[in-house]
Structure 1
């Protein structure tokens, strides 16, 4: 039985948007809140362990206690950015987050916990709906009534994108063509290391949408693993887009954004209901954010440097990339989900 003091503590945490719902302990079903003021939330590239410094205040309450403190009529209007990874989603989040009417939140750990728990079948359907309602309310909190939360999710959270976007809210789906994606992944040491870790899970996820698909992990080149990553994440987004419908999803090709940044940024802002004129968009896309690495602003990463990275990957892995793209085309001929993804973004 919860005491009055426990109920009051949970209510205080839920009422204050500076107490961010950081993580959920699967064993104790306790929700950890971390205190991050507005500027801290805006600055964080990742709302996971990297944001949880030793000096941050933390409070833990039972999930049921936090849920009971959420009013039935609480705001549930958070917008989302979903993506396939390494396609400018953090940059888009930062650009849109420059608006005073946006509270940009990047990669909350709690979303990953939900995606993993739902994939593992930890909760029944009724409990999933109840928990998602509470999660949505917690992520919709802002510091001012004229703000709206915009959550940029981790890539594999796209598996539950259609369950996360609440009624009346919208989502940006960021992507690039398969060739650009593969070159991007092969162009960086960190992304290649990440690729090795993510590939087994991606193979399993992709096979779930492509019955009969069997891939031998030990025989895949790095380029083929990157191709599998593209196919997995694109088919994940496509499935969610089919459920949400075209009125609630705007597909944004990152290469198209770089070619026409002002128009693309204005289109994304308008889709989300944000007021942004051409002058403001021009100021943002010619400002420092476009010349920095969005996940770590202390490093330079301009569109010109990106072109150099992609060109270097083509020179070093050109044969493997072409073979991977040919393999992707063959997969698209056999499995409609992959074929539809190719139809949207292209192979080459």
Structure 2
């Protein structure tokens, strides 16, 4: 005899598939915020975080345990786009989302919640014991793996700092596209925009904390780092997180790509990414996508125009305006490589030619 209480109408609706999306969780109260989403809403959304919350999305809280009971899906097969930030991940996600067989989701807030919790995993003050944390992360991957068509595969573009939990996200069967650029290009990109500079100011402290934890020593004080050096430090913090996640994962499950290399030959690179994710690309469809409006829009706000030429112009301006600061930042990276073998190794892998490109 089953004495379990009946499921609420919300939990029953959640069990039917991705029309109710688990937008975020409150770990302290074991609740999940669900929002109503159509397939087209997923397709157009640049972010699945707090910026998507409107009255039209009908946000409603539900108990984690009830949702776990309601969800009978066995899918845990989402693939990933992981990146260091400002490296075309949204653009590539939008392009791939137009291909048959892939269902693109961008920056689910719940993954950020788990990345925050992971910093305390195993600590006495953690909200959950390690085994429950790991099990719930896998449950969340399952919820995010749900698609409207069983023939589709979810492709999730995470936020950059979600790379701290990249290894369990990939697991043993899922695949990840890992996107980066060289340090110089990354620094130029950050310094080229007001929004990226503001983001740098907000995230620099967290990134330095993560970098120190990964290297096992506190070598630098944030207040002594200039803005360009903070950008270099951010590149290093994020690339080391991805590089660590890459270790121990089969080569068949990770595809590294430099965004500048992608832009140099987007048709062939997009086709190669599609094949990596198990999609047999239609050459004409790929070419049409590359020649279409997605490549000339600002991916995070498609109502605004943006193109490769515009990007190059902005980067050239930043390179000229901040030449001395960028040189100092690259010198800082060289000094960090002299101090730490892990930094030297990652620079050698991701910048084998020289520090200025």
How many residues end up aligned between the 2 structures?
A: 346
Q: Deviations over 1:246-301 (max 9, x none)?
A: 22110011000011111111111100101213222211111111111000001111
**Structure 1 partner of 2:85:** 85
Q: Is the 8 A contact 1:75 1:137 kept in 2?
A: yes
Please list, as runs of the form range in 1=range in 2, the aligned pairs for 1:45-194 lying within 5 A after superposition: 45-71=46-72, 74-121=74-121, 122=126, 123-194=128-199
Q: Deviations over 1:196-222 (max 9, x none)?
A: 110000001001111224212112111
**Structure 2 partner of 1:42:** 43
Aligned residue for 2:57, secondary structure, equals coil
Q: Distance in 2 between matches of 1:181 and 1:65?
A: 44
Aligned residue for 1:236, secondary structure, equals helix
Q: Distance in 1 between matches of 2:250 and 2:322?
A: 38
Aligned residue for 1:149, secondary structure, equals strand
Q: Distance in 1 between matches of 2:232 and 2:292?
A: 33
Q: Is the 8 A contact 2:7 2:66 kept in 1?
A: no
Aligned residue for 2:150, secondary structure, equals coil
Q: 1:210 aligns with which of 210, 215, 220?
A: 215
Q: Distance in 1 between matches of 2:215 and 2:171?
A: 28
Deviation at residue 176 of structure 1 after TM alignment: 0.2
Q: Deviations over 1:153-210 (max 9, x none)?
A: 0000000000112432200000000000000000111111110110000001001111
Runs of 5+ in structure 2 lacking a partner?
A: none
Of 196-205 and 337-346, deviating more is 337-346
Instruction: Name the TM-score, length of structure 1 as normaliser.
Output: 0.96
Deviation at residue 237 of structure 1 after TM alignment: 0.2
After the TM superposition, list the runs of 4 or more consecutive aligned residues in structure 1 that deviate by more than 3 angstroms. Answer: none
Instruction: Name the TM-score, length of structure 2 as normaliser.
Output: 0.94
Deviation at residue 2 of structure 1 after TM alignment: 5.7
Q: Distance in 2 between matches of 1:235 and 1:140?
A: 27
Q: Distance in 1 between matches of 2:321 and 2:110?
A: 38
Please list, as runs of the form range in 1=range in 2, the aligned pairs for 1:260-299 lying within 5 A after superposition: 260-299=265-304
1:4 and 2:6 correspond: yes
Of 242-251 and 256-265, deviating more is 242-251
Q: Distance in 2 between matches of 1:5 and 1:290?
A: 45
Runs of 5+ in structure 1 lacking a partner?
A: none
Aligned residue for 2:33, secondary structure, equals strand
Q: Distance in 1 between matches of 2:32 and 2:320?
A: 48
Aligned residue for 1:142, secondary structure, equals coil
**Structure 2 partner of 1:338:** 343
Q: Distance in 2 between matches of 1:166 and 1:41?
A: 25
**Structure 1 partner of 2:26:** 25
Of 227-236 and 277-286, deviating more is 277-286
Q: Distance in 2 between matches of 1:144 and 1:79?
A: 16
Of 51-60 and 291-300, deviating more is 51-60
Q: Is the 8 A contact 1:22 1:110 kept in 2?
A: yes
Of 199-208 and 54-63, deviating more is 54-63
Q: Is the 8 A contact 2:190 2:196 kept in 1?
A: yes
Q: Is the 8 A contact 1:14 1:138 kept in 2?
A: no
Deviation at residue 243 of structure 1 after TM alignment: 3.2
1:242 and 2:247 correspond: yes
Deviation at residue 112 of structure 1 after TM alignment: 0.2
